[in-house]
């Protein structure tokens, strides 16, 4: 289901006014001489040039005023014979960027086309290598340039005396180029097609070479089939795609009298080529184009005199209230024109062409169908009336339930093409309109999906064409049919393109016809952009439209007949909700007509239909109850059926298997809605059946079923158990026992259920429920990985707190119980903020932390309003520290959640007492500046929270969170967290740095055996120590920072058993080399031990880092230049990852002697 989104107007995102970068672009072209040889500089300049050009993709006309000067600059480079070829290649890359944005048809008209350019351009083209992938832009631009040059008004034979080409004429050279590039597979093929159109249609060329060229092109198509070449052979495919495209272009732009002799042979050759069996869609598309254009060539160039001609197509005249009868009268006069079209000679081959095009309407490829539809429209426009009528009849036959969706789509496209040309005569409307109405809701299930969106889209195109083609009076009898069908698609189609197409068609009718009932009022709410959000279309726009009685029943009937059995579960759910919303518009119709239909569908063998019907029944009952709480319009037998529905499904065993999951979801929703509707049943067994189903669903593995069951329980208890204390106590005891179940999903479901209890059902059971929920939070070896259960339990506690403490019930004893347990609630949430359970899915403890933070917010905010004296300073301090820590940790979702809560607590009204450094924090998190802050934006969040390191109250926890982020793996997180930290450290005094160093040591020491923290700690230390900001602290002899760091890192080395962890340990030891004295010596010793580790890759990595560190910290190691050089030689020349352990150990010992450190001794394992 599509998410709801902000319905702001959608408009052009980058509306430019002029080509503002003109000066910059011209300077880039001028500078090309200096940078073309430097690949890096040119790439940078070219990328910037393309970026600038691409910004004008939506407004390319802004380039027009500067196009000539830009092209002149580029062609000055290209025309200069002294310039190297590589420079010209680069210039053509710039030219192609311009062509891509402005379009080649526009740019070609601005290219230089002097006679003197012909020979140089042709020679340059002949020198190119068609297989060079780095210079295709050059070849493409040269082909386009040549296409305008060959239009010079001189006979081509005048140029045949060119130097160096005495044996080959200019014409033959150009034809050779054309044929060569028509068979390539890159963009140059398009350039060659354009060139062939311009050159072959020249007066002096078509008489001598047109026949041979067409024969050559067509022979390539037939030859591939005769030789048995596979259509999947890419090389063979492109050798026919280009020539076919050229033939199609020549037939389009050539003169009829020149092409007429070739029309029949072309059609025959196409049939011989057997293109229909070609698997490559471009082949079929071009063949359809060639056949339709050859057919057009055979027909006289005249528009059918019998076509329907609407007298006035002016939108302004229509809206001004012009006389619709005038245009109709004009049409009647036109229809009495001479029937001379019956004397037109129609060649026999035209029937073959039309058969081919009608066959193309059912092709499996949409581009072929679209091309065939346009061909049908163009050819029919030149046919006599009787022949055209046969074509229309054949197309209408395709709109048959037995035909495939492709046939329906092609037929709709063809009807739209005929309609907009006036070739669909008014007398045909009575046949066409009902078929189009069916096409607008065409949706055929194919397994788990449906097909038909393209059909509905094309049907909207037909409806749109009607608005432009026909007179108001002609369409008046069909207005209600068309309008209702379009609005059904506008509101309830699954696909956004269909909803928008229907809205556009409706708008066209309102504007041009002005006869749709309430058209303007509807368009105000159902415009093109508003229908883009599916939820909005189903739940809001449909209600706005249904207020007009002309459309109310149509919308309701469509939902019942077409959408409740849709294969998409999201559509069924939306349809049920839409029926609920529409109930208020026709309550009598819903109760008398719709509800009986829905209950019939409940017994269907179709799972989708059953599911949708059950959802709809519940929603309609609730809608009727909101209109009339007594449900006087609903027949008693329907209420009886509602009470028996769950038992009936259970008896049919429809709650089993996958289908049973859908049935359980729908039945839980049905129970919830019926309970909210306050249905009254004669038998108490109904409530027992519902309770039994809810209990079963609460322990189901599917989360959605558990959620629906808990929601259904809340509604059921509120209506049927409110005065039954015995039943409530029984349920409470039963559900609390389930919280200690040995299955996680059972705990989750029953925790959710208990969380739905309100204050009325907690009386005398508050402690039982709270203690049971809190006891289930205790982590045991069995439940250690059950974070989801703990999350749902914490959410249940928060829900109970909110429902009870904020209840409007006076003298509520449960509220006092909850308030007396404030400390217990806060402690529970604070413990939850420290959960970091990790499993194969990652840090699943984040779910518990997020739920706990929400709980903290609820308790503190409520207490601040009700009893602020219950808020203890220790709890607030711990809560704010925990939130600050979570706000700088590495999980984005959790970080944003914590930041929002931290900010809201700071600015809460009434003020929350005891927040540490409250005034300072209010300055950092200024209400005006941070109100609209994007909490998912890493840089903004860290720049604020990094300042909390200045306050001792928050320093430990913020530093702990920063260690996790700086030592993380996400590139963006590491980048911005590190930058923020280093910027902060740069501004600190030595005393403050010492304090921060002590905090880092405290964190390390407290978590020395916690891999979750020590692994990022190593990375963090490497990055921070390499920044040199702690250099003064490290060199301070009175500070224990370096020594503590060394000892803790040695402990981490002992705990590390994997290569990545040991690599990180080695990196820290490399940083500790900079500390003069014993620390440096011990760090060198530890590094020498890692050089002999059993992990080969570790040895190599450590040796590299060791080498780099010695180069950087040579002075701190007190090594002479000779010893340093000797040590570096040993480290660089030894193949640490290839030698045996004994060989490595011997070299390592030598290195220790050079560095003047003790040689590590091998410890023998105790047997």
Q: Domain containing 431 — which CATH number? A: 1.25.10
Same domain, 248 and 376: yes
Residue 1101 and residue 1071 in contact, taking contact as beta carbons nearer than 8 Å: no
Confidence grade of residue 808 (pLDDT, cut at 50, 70, 90): confident
The CATH number given to whatever domain includes residue 364 is: 1.20.930
The answer to the question of residue 545 being in a domain is yes
3-class SS string, 370-423: HHHHHHHHHHHCCCCHHHHHHHHHHHHHHCCCCCCHHHHHHHHHHHHHHHHCCC
Same domain, 545 and 577: no
Domain boundaries, position 37 = 19-112
Nearest to 898 by CA among 804, 971, 985, 965: 965
Q: Is the pLDDT assigned to residue 738 strictly greater than 70?
A: yes
Q: How far apart are CA 265 and CA 218, in angstroms?
A: 10
Q: How far apart are CA 157 and CA 72, in angstroms?
A: 29
For residue range 523-538, list pLDDT tens digits in order. Answer: 999 998 999 999 999 9
Q: How far apart are CA 781 and CA 779, in angstroms?
A: 7
Same domain, 536 and 603: no
807 DSSP assignment: -
Same domain, 477 and 594: no
> For residue 477, how many other CB atoms are within 10 A of its CB?
11
Q: Is the pLDDT assigned to residue 9 strictly greater than 90?
A: no
Same domain, 422 and 540: yes
| Coil, helix or strand at residue 771 | helix
Q: How far apart are CA 793 and CA 781, in angstroms?
A: 18
Q: How far apart are CA 962 and CA 972, in angstroms?
A: 14
Nearest to 525 by CA among 557, 562, 487, 489: 487
Q: Which residues on neighbouring strands pair with residue 450, listed in sequence order?
A: 445
The answer to the question of residue 60 being in a domain is yes
CA 324 to chain centre: 47
End residue of a domain, out of 70, 93, 112: 112
Q: How far apart are CA 29 and CA 94, in angstroms?
A: 8
For residue range 58-114, list pLDDT tens digits in order. Answer: 889 998 898 999 999 999 999 988 899 999 999 999 999 999 999 999 999 999 988
Same domain, 461 and 362: no
The answer to the question of residue 206 being in a domain is yes
Q: How far apart are CA 951 and CA 947, in angstroms?
A: 8
Same domain, 43 and 106: yes
Same domain, 1119 and 1034: yes
The answer to the question of residue 519 being in a domain is yes
Asked if the bond preceding 910 is cis, omega within 30° of 0, the reply is yes
**Residues whose CB is less than 8 angstroms from the CB of residue 33 and which lie 6 or more positions away in sequence, other chains included:** 77, 87
End residue of a domain, out of 689, 715, 741: 715
For residue range 260-311, list pLDDT tens digits in order. Answer: 999 999 998 888 877 777 778 888 899 999 999 999 999 888 887 888 876 4
User: Angle CA(1073)–CA(1075)–CA(1080) in degrees, nearest 5?
Assistant: 50
Q: What is the mean pLDDT of residues 164-184?
A: 83
Q: What is the pLDDT of residue 235?
A: 63
Phi-psi region of 397 (alpha: psi -120 to 50; beta: other; left: phi over 0): alpha
For residue range 761-782, list pLDDT tens digits in order. Answer: 998 899 999 999 999 999 999 9
Same domain, 601 and 499: no
Q: Is the pLDDT assigned to residue 312 strictly greater than 90?
A: no
Q: How many CA atoms lie within 13 A of 937 on its CB side?
A: 8
The answer to the question of residue 38 being in a domain is yes
Q: Where are the alpha helices (DSSP H) in 722-870?
A: 725-738, 744-755, 766-775, 787-805, 813-820, 822-832, 845-866
Residue 1013 and residue 1055 in contact, taking contact as beta carbons nearer than 8 Å: no
**Structure-token match 């001609």, residue found:** 309
H or E element in which residue 966 lies = helix 952-966
Q: Is the pLDDT assigned to residue 230 strictly greater than 90?
A: no
478 DSSP assignment: G
Q: Is the pLDDT assigned to residue 229 strictly greater than 50?
A: no
The answer to the question of residue 271 being in a domain is yes
Q: Which residues on neighbouring strands pair with residue 843, listed in sequence order?
A: 838
pTM: 0.86
Confidence grade of residue 318 (pLDDT, cut at 50, 70, 90): low
Minimum mean pLDDT range among 106-110, 222-226, 442-446: 222-226
> For residue 251, how many other CB atoms are within 10 A of its CB?
24
The answer to the question of residue 889 being in a domain is no
> For residue 629, how many other CB atoms are within 10 A of its CB?
10
The answer to the question of residue 661 being in a domain is yes
> For residue 781, how many other CB atoms are within 10 A of its CB?
6
End residue of a domain, out of 47, 78, 112: 112
| Coil, helix or strand at residue 913 | coil
Highest mean pLDDT out of 331-335, 336-340, 1010-1014: 1010-1014
- In total, how many domains does the chain have? 5
Nearest to 947 by CA among 893, 891, 985: 985
Same domain, 1020 and 1058: yes
What's the burial of 342, exposed, middle or buried (CB within 10 Å: 0-12/13-18/19+)?
exposed
Helix axes 744-755, 725-738, angle to 10 degrees: 150
Same domain, 526 and 582: no
Q: Hey, what are 1002's tokens?
A: 């405290």
- Give Dmax over CA atoms of the chain in angstroms: 116
Q: Is the pLDDT assigned to residue 648 strictly greater than 90?
A: yes
Q: Which residues on neighbouring strands pair with residue 838, listed in sequence order?
A: 843
Same domain, 28 and 102: yes
The DSSP result for 1109-1152, as a single string, is HHHHTTTTTT--HHHHHHHHHHHHHS-TTTS-HHHHHHHHHHHH
Q: What is the pLDDT of residue 225?
A: 55
Q: What is the pLDDT of residue 434?
A: 96
Q: How far apart are CA 675 and CA 670, in angstroms?
A: 8
Q: How far apart are CA 368 and CA 376, in angstroms?
A: 12
User: Angle CA(809)–CA(814)–CA(817) in degrees, nearest 5?
Assistant: 140
Confidence grade of residue 447 (pLDDT, cut at 50, 70, 90): confident
Indicate the average pLDDT of the chain.
Answer: 90
Q: What is the pLDDT of residue 314?
A: 54
| Coil, helix or strand at residue 451 | strand
């Amino acid at each position: 289901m599509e998410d709801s989104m902000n319905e702001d107007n959608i408009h052009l995102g980058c509306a430019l006014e002029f080509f503002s970068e003109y000066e910059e672009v011209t300077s880039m072209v001028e500078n090309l001489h200096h940078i073309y040889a430097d690949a890096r500089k040119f790439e940078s300049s070219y990328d910037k040039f393309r970026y600038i050009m691409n910004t004008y993709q939506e407004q390319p006309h802004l380039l027009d005023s500067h196009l000539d000067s830009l092209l002149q600059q580029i062609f000055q480079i290209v025309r200069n014979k002294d310039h190297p070829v590589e420079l010209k290649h680069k210039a053509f890359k710039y030219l192609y960027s311009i062509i891509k944005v402005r379009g080649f048809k526009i740019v070609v008209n601005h290219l230089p086309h002097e006679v003197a350019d012909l020979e140089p351009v042709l020679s340059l083209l002949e020198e190119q290598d068609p297989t060079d992938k780095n210079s295709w832009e050059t070849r493409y631009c040269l082909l386009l340039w040549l296409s305008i040059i060959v239009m010079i008004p001189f006979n081509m034979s005048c140029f045949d005396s060119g130097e160096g080409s005495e044996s080959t004429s200019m014409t033959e050279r150009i034809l050779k180029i054309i044929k060569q590039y028509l068979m390539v597979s890159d963009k140059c093929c398009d350039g060659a097609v354009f060139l062939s159109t311009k050159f072959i249609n020249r007066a002096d060329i078509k008489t001598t070479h047109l026949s041979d060229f067409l024969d050559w092109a067509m022979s390539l198509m037939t030859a591939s089939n005769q030789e048995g070449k596979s259509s999947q052979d890419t090389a063979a495919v492109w050798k026919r795609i280009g020539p076919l495209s050229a033939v199609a272009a020549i037939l389009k732009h050539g003169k009829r009298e020149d092409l007429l002799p070739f029309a029949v042979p072309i059609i025959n050759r196409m049939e011989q080529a057997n293109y229909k069996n070609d698997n490559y869609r471009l082949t079929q598309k071009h063949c359809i184009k060639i056949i339709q254009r050859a057919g057009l060539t055979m027909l006289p160039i005249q528009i059918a005199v019998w076509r329907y001609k609407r007298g006035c197509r002016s939108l302004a005249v229509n809206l001004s209230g012009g006389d619709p009868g005038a245009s109709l009268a004009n049409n009647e006069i036109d229809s009495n024109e001479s029937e001379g079209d019956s004397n037109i000679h129609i060649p026999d081959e035209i029937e073959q062409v039309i058969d081919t095009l009608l066959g193309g309407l059912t092709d499996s490829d949409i581009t072929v169908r679209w091309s065939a539809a346009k061909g049908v429209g163009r050819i029919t426009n030149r046919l006599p009336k009787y022949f055209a009528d046969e074509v229309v009849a054949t197309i209408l036959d395709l709109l048959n339930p037995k035909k495939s969706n492709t046939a329906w789509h092609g037929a709709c496209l063809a009807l739209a093409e005929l309609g907009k040309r006036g070739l669909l005569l008014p007398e045909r409307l009575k046949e066409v309109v009902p078929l189009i109405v069916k096409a607008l809701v065409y949706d055929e299930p194919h397994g788990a999906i449906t097909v038909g969106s393209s059909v509905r889209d094309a049907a909207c195109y037909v409806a749109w064409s009607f608005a432009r083609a026909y007179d108001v009076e002609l369409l008046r009898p069909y207005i209600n049919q068309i309008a209702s069908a379009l609005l059904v698609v506008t509101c309830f189609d699954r696909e956004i393109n269909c909803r928008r197409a229907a809205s556009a068609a409706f708008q066209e009718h309102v504007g041009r016809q002005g006869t749709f009932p309430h058209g303007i009022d509807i368009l105000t709410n159902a415009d093109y952009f508003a229908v883009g959000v599916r939820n909005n279309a189903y739940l809001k726009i449909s209600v706005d439209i249904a207020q007009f009685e002309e459309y109310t029943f149509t919308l309701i009937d469509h939902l019942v007949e077409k959408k409740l059995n849709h294969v998409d579960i999201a559509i069924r759910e939306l349809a049920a909700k839409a029926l609920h919303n529409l109930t208020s518009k026709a309550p009598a119709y819903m109760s008398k007509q719709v509800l009986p239909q829905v209950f019939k569908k409940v017994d269907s063998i179709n799972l989708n239909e059953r599911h949708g019907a059950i959802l709809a029944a519940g929603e309609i009952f609730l809608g009727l109850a909101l209109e009339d709480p007594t449900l006087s319009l609903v027949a008693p037998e329907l209420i009886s059926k509602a009470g028996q529905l769950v038992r009936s499904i259970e008896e049919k065993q429809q709650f089993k298997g996958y289908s049973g999951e859908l049935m359980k979801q729908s039945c839980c929703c049905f129970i919830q809605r019926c309970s909210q509707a306050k249905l009254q049943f004669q038998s108490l067994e109904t409530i027992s059946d519902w309770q039994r189903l809810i209990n079963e669903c609460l322990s189901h593995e599917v989360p959605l079923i558990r959620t629906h069951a808990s929601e259904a329980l809340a509604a059921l208890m509120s209506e049927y158990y409110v005065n039954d204390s015995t039943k409530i106590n029984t349920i409470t005891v039963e559900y609390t026992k389930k919280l200690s179940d040995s299955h996680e999903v059972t705990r989750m479901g029953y925790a959710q259920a208990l969380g739905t209890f309100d204050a009325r059902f907690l009386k005398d059971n508050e402690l039982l429920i709270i203690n049971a929920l809190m006891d289930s939070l205790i982590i045991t070896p069995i439940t250690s990985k059950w974070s989801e259960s703990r999350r749902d339990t914490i959410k249940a506690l928060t829900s109970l707190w909110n429902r009870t403490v904020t209840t409007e019930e006076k003298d509520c004893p449960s509220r006092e119980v909850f308030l007396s347990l404030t400390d217990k609630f806060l402690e529970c949430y604070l413990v939850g903020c420290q959960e970091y359970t990790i499993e194969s899915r990652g840090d699943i403890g984040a779910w518990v932390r997020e739920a706990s933070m929400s709980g903290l917010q609820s308790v503190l905010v409520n207490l601040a309003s009700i009893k602020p004296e219950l808020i203890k300073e220790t709890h607030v301090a711990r809560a704010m520290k925990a939130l600050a820590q979570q706000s700088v940790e590495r999980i984005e979702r959790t970080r944003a959640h914590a930041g929002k809560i931290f900010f809201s607590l700071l600015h809460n009204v009434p003020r929350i007492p005891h927040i540490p450094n409250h005034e300072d924090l209010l300055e950092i998190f200024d209400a005006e500046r941070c109100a609209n802050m994007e909490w998912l934006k890493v840089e903004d969040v860290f720049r604020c929270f990094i300042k909390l390191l200045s306050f001792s109250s928050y320093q430990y926890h913020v530093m702990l969170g920063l260690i996790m982020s700086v030592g993380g793996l996400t590139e963006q997180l590491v980048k911005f967290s590190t930058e923020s930290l280093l910027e902060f450290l740069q501004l600190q005094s030595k005393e403050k740095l010492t304090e921060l160093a002590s905090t880092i040591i405290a964190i390390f020491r407290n978590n020395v055996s916690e891999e979750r923290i020590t692994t990022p700690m190593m990375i963090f230390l490497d990055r921070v120590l390499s920044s040199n900001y702690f250099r003064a602290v490290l060199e301070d002899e009175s500070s224990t920072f370096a020594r503590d760091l060394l000892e803790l890192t040695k402990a981490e080395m002992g705990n590390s058993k994997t290569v990545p962890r040991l690599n990180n340990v080695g990196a820290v030891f490399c940083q500790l080399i900079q500390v003069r004295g014993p620390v440096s010596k011990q760090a060198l010793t530890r590094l020498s031990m890692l050089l002999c580790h059993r992990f080969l890759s570790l040895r190599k990595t450590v040796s590299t880092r060791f080498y780099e560190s010695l180069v950087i910290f040579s002075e701190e190691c007190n090594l002479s230049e000779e010893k340093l050089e000797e040590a570096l030689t040993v480290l660089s020349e030894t193949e640490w990852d290839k030698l045996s352990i004994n060989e490595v150990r011997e070299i390592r010992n030598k290195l220790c002697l050079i560095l003047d450190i003790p040689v590590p001794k091998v410890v023998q394992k105790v047997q």
